[in-house]
Amino acid sequence: MPISPEAFQEKVKTKVRDHYAASGTPLLLASLGSVIEKEDAWPTDRGQRSLKQLITETCGPDLQIVFDKRSPAYVAVVTPEVRAEIETKIAERLGEKGTIQVRLEEVARPVLLAFCVSVQNQPVYIRRTRPFRYEVGPVPEDRASEYILVEPEFRRPGLRIDYPRSFR
């Protein structure tokens, strides 16, 4: 059952403080949202606001939102005391300190083929998850979120990729 706005603020602040008292890992906004949803602890004045908006508008400056600039979906809720530490952990998450090397021979063959397949004025899509595959032409509307468009400017139709080990 929805709770009062004041009770919501205190509940969220307590959950965030308790998390960081017990763990040094980022408290993801999605995880906090799942707990609130499970407990049905949304404020009565929620309206159409998202959890991110609610925290920003009602729980600041005690709680703040931080996110990975390379992955906008990776959003964490922090207290000012742990903000710097969590931002560092988020930056280290994908190895911001160093360059990540990608070896062409380790890229799934259907992904490589999507960049090289010859097509006439048709879009080429790559499936986002395993098993990777490419599709020529429009993908069905109900499965569109499973695919990503290979932008024409990055494609090299006709490029042979018989021996990727020779690309070094």
Quote the tokens at residue 86: 């969590």
User: pLDDT, tens digit, for every residue of 130-140?
Assistant: 899 999 999 98
User: pLDDT, tens digit, for every residue of 24-40?
Assistant: 899 999 899 889 989 98
CA distance 157 to 95: 33
Please say whether the beta carbons of 61 and 21 come within 8 A.
no
CA distance 94 to 18: 26
User: pLDDT, tens digit, for every residue of 59-84?
Assistant: 888 999 998 877 767 889 999 999 99
Quote the tokens at residue 142: 């109900």
pLDDT-derived band of residue 90, with 50, 70 and 90 as boundaries?
A: confident
Mean pLDDT for the chain overall: 86
Q: Which residues pair with 158 in a beta bridge?
A: none
pLDDT-derived band of residue 168, with 50, 70 and 90 as boundaries?
A: very low
Query: What pLDDT does residue 91 have?
Result: 81
Strands laid side by side in the 134-136 sheet: 134-136, 124-127, 147-149
pLDDT-derived band of residue 109, with 50, 70 and 90 as boundaries?
A: confident
